[in-house]
Chain A
Amino acid sequence: MNNTPVLEIKNVSVCFDGFYALTDVNANVKRNSIHFFIGPNGAGKTTLLDIICGKTKPTEGNVIYNTQDGHSVRLTGLPEYQIVRHGIGRKFQVPSVFKSLSVKDNMLLSLKGHKSIIDCIFGKPSKEEFEHIDYVLERVGLKERTDICAGTLAHGEKQWLEIAMQLVQKPEIIMLDEPAAGMGKLETFKTGEILKDIKKECTIIVIEHDMDFVRQTADIVTVLHEGKVLTEGLVDEVLANETVQAVYLGRSKAVS
């Protein structure tokens, strides 16, 4: 097993018109782990995901991706569709599935490869690919909903479909921005179980606010605060940390 971190975030800073959303952030993500980024609103969590997936360019710093077979790819500066083709998928905060298309078509469009215009006009998905789609849909519990228009799915189901759309690409890393947002307790728990199942095959990076969800699924937690890394470690250590409680947990308790 390859022990180098799958993703190295090195000295990343982002400046939006003089405001530093992130300052000198360093983090390593271990292969086949579920790595959480938590922090109060405005801590720069989503900005960090934007940088990893190429949506935002960092002012300084690099993001390095180490593949299974020991290659290193510098993600910073690549357009997003190429980052996706390297095997790094992303789910957005607001569920964004293709709502006029069926669940199956959503999955078909997300398959790995066949991304050129010619392939799209003349290519036909193979039998293995259809089977793979069925397999992935079964894992997220949407097997019975294959032919339904994605726009009519319930909120939780849309979130799962979007996770499935990442999964069907056989990714190395999946990034999820608040996958449990707007879900009930049961749905959240199920999402956590899905993630634990997935991590055998890939690495998962999650942003989340729900502390029960963090306790249920996280391997490693990085706490961001005002654009800086506050602390990083195992779940229990981090949640027991007094500074963390002061900036984040304490405050959320005070609010609730």
Chain B
Amino acid sequence: MKKQNICFTIIVLILAAMPILLQLGFITASSTVLFIGKCIAFAIVAMGLDLIWGYTGILSLGHGLYFALGGYAMAMYLKLQATGGQITDFMHIGGLTELPMIWKPFLNLPLSIIMIFVIPAIVSGLIGYFIFKNRVKGVYFSIISQALTWAAYSIFIALSPYTNGNVGITEIQTIVGSIRGDKNRMNMFIVFYGALIIMVLTYALCRFSTSTKFGKLLIAIRDGENRTYFSGYQVSHFKTFAYVLSAVIAAVAGAVFVNFNGSITPSQMTISYSITMVIWVAVGGRGTIIGAIIGAFIINLCEYNLSSGSLVDIWQYIIGLIFVITILFFKGGLVGLVREQIPTFISKLKNKSHAETPVKSKKGA
């Protein structure tokens, strides 16, 4: 368990060095740092997903919904900052003459930040309460979570006067102003380190909650939900709570993401985007918080480096293949590989070389 914290510290130190490397000229493009900022956001949502999937055993294929809800909440605030509180172009085109009610809370920052937490908490709380109360589980839950994401996606596109439909909310800066260009580099660093701090806090939160009895109960629910009911726990409340926690973490990640991405579109809400998140967790190693982080970074770094070249067309196939191989052969992902499979493989090899001599002598006899 301590190894996990050491590993996390190393990752954080490497990340913290990125802006310094840029400043010193080892990294030439500032877009690389922006991309790593996005990866930090992905790592945060992966941790949230790991809580609900890796620990509690509930596979949500719709976390893109919460990621996007947080992203939109942030983007709406930033957009209003850019327009000076006036109504936006797409609202004009949509036939609106004044700022709609749902945009009003996003005029000020504290309220916007509260919204980033409250909106996904309410949505996931309602969804979780009814689904888990009726004991919907397994693949049925996964399908419902997909359907809900799809429904939300359709709603966001249909309500284009309020959300700008397919295009999403674009042309926005960050929470501290512009980060483009050399003269705004300081702003970029502030946003980057801010994101890093949020990632550390999320990690601490996840580690704390999984180390308590609550975390053990989540594992208990995964191993034997029935047994947990018969140990006197109101399991549906626990599942709902874990689901809300994970949704809020996803929303925070979405809000961080918008700062680096400069826009949010409904494509962040799609099913395929949500499934990509699941792949990060699976490849990294579910049921270990550090695995989720590692998975999010590795998959995204691969995508960043590979999909720009000739591999762009087949990238989706490669990632699909990696996912299938992980699920079939490496259930514990990369972390499981390092922690269990390689040690058992080595000890097997040792046993084999030990065992070989007596086996031969037996044959001879």
Contact = CB atoms under 8 A, between A and B. Distances in A.
A and B are partners in one complex rather than unrelated chains? yes
Interface of A: 53, 79-81, 84-85, 89-90, 92, 96-101, 105, 108-110, 112, 114-115, 117, 119-123, 125, 165, 169
Top 10 closest pairs, chain A to chain B, by CB: A84-B232, A120-B214, A98-B220, A96-B227, A98-B223, A120-B213, A121-B214, A96-B224, A85-B232, A80-B229
A101 B230 contact: no
Interface in B212-250: 212-214, 216-217, 219-220, 222-224, 226-235, 237-238, 241
A83 to B, nearest CB: 9
A98 B224 contact: yes
B226 A109 contact: no
Contact residues on B (Cβ < 8 Å of other chain), bracket: 20 to 34
Nearest to A117: B241
Given A99-B223, A109-B220, 18 more contacts: A53-B230, A80-B230, A81-B235, A84-B230, A89-B230, A98-B219, A98-B220, A99-B224, A101-B219, A109-B213, A109-B216, A109-B228, A109-B231, A115-B233, A120-B213, A123-B213, A169-B231, A169-B232
A90 B224 contact: no
B234 A115 contact: yes
B209 interface: yes
Contacts of A89: 230
Interface of B: 209, 212-214, 216-217, 219-220, 222-224, 226-235, 237-238, 241
A112 to B, nearest CB: 8
A92 B232 contact: no
B234 A101 contact: no
Given A115-B234, A169-B232, A98 B213 contact: no
Contacts of A109: 213, 216-217, 220, 228, 231
Contacts of B234: 79, 81, 115
A98 B227 contact: yes
B259 to A, nearest CB: 30
Contacts of A97: 224, 227
A92 B241 CA distance: 27
A65 to B, nearest CB: 15
Given A115-B232, A121-B209, A108 B227 contact: no
A105 B213 CA distance: 8
A85 B238 CA distance: 17
Nearest to B231: A110
B52 to A, nearest CB: 15
14 contacts: A81-B230, A81-B235, A85-B232, A90-B230, A98-B219, A99-B224, A108-B216, A109-B228, A117-B238, A120-B213, A120-B238, A125-B213, A165-B231, A169-B232
Contacts of B223: 98-101
A86 to B, nearest CB: 9
Contacts of A125: 213
B231 A96 contact: no
Most buried by A among B214, B223, B230, B238: B230
A89 B227 CA distance: 10
B271 to A, nearest CB: 30
B249 to A, nearest CB: 16
A115 B233 CA distance: 6
A39 B227 CA distance: 25
Given A98-B223, A100-B223, A120 B231 contact: no
B323 to A, nearest CB: 23
A9 to B, nearest CB: 19
A11 to B, nearest CB: 25
A146 B217 CA distance: 18
Contacts of A169: 231-232
A121 B235 contact: no
A92 B227 contact: yes
Contacts of A105: 216
A112 B233 CA distance: 11
B218 to A, nearest CB: 9
A143 to B, nearest CB: 21
Nearest to B224: A96
Nearest to A99: B223
Most buried by A among B220, B222, B226, B231: B231
A104 to B, nearest CB: 10
A101 B209 CA distance: 16
Nearest to A124: B213
A77 to B, nearest CB: 16
Nearest to B219: A100
Contact of B232 (A81, A117, A122): A81
A60 B235 CA distance: 28
Contacts of B222: 100
Contacts of B231: 84, 109-110, 165, 169
Contact of B213 (A79, A84, A90, A108): A108
A120 B212 contact: yes
Contacts of A110: 231
A101 B220 contact: yes
A81 B216 contact: no
Nearest to A112: B232
A81 B235 CA distance: 9
Contacts of B219: 98, 100-101
